[in-house]
Amino acid sequence: MISTEALLNLDMSYPGIEIKVELIVLQEYLNQLESSIQTACDRYIENELSKYKNRDYEEYSHIYRIAETEIPRIIRLPVLVSMYALYESSMSRLLTYAQGKESKTLGLNDIRARSMSDGFNKYSQHVLGFDYQIAENFLDEIKIISKIRNIIAHTNGNLTNEQFNDFRRWINEDIEIQSNQLDITYPFINKAMQCIRDIIESLMKFLENTMIHRQLFFSWPSSFFNSIPRNRSNAYCF
């Protein structure tokens, strides 16, 4: 009988172990995001109103506007940057892991591509020789997420007139622009997270179904396979 030690002879250098935890933690943070925003808004209103006792509503009405629009925007926008960073980091770590296992000298950074996602696909297909590609529908979603991420990271969501004209076609009920300031809704963040998680998990599943299972199979002792009964065609009977 195969030993427990041999059965659990997993490669602890596999980055998917940490990535799965990172996905869980980020998802849990998103689950609490809206309640955290509401708490922040309530505290802001309470603190600011204390400064305007016995004053006319017109003098402090801006407090409610800021709590309704500005505070949610300020909290939500950086979340998308973190999500996209997890996407790029996870895919890069997984493909670099595969590079080592497949003994490839050409690295991910050596690939010329139109985007990071395009580079992931090219590296998987042309260097690693894997039958894995990011699905076309995911590529379209990631393109939008990447554009928004860049605007947030470089201008904190403040658009120039040129950027506004270029970005106008992406505007919908989940992506808003007011006074040349970009804003995204909670449903958009959730959909973006679902897209990112699906892409990362699809690559992890591919690697785990090929490389890691292959490694486990060949790490088992020959005595284990000799003990397995075979049928008349000399095939193993699992």
CA distances from 116 to 1, 64, 137, 175, 197 (A): 46, 41, 16, 23, 16
Query: What confidence tens digit (pLDDT) does each residue in 45-87 have?
Result: 999 999 998 899 899 999 999 999 999 999 999 999 999 999 9
- Please state, in angstroms and rounded to a whole number, the distance separating the CA atoms of residues 205 and 212: 10
- Please state, in angstroms and rounded to a whole number, the distance separating the CA atoms of residues 168 and 189: 19
Average pLDDT for 78-97: 96
Torsion angles phi and psi, residue 178, rounded to 5: -130, 125
Residue 170 pLDDT class (50, 70, 90 cuts): confident
Helix or strand (DSSP H, E) at 175: strand 175-178
Residue 99 scores a pLDDT above 90: yes
- Structure tokens given for 141: 């979603």
pTM for the whole structure: 0.81
Contact between 100 and 11 under an 8 Å Cβ cutoff? The reply is no
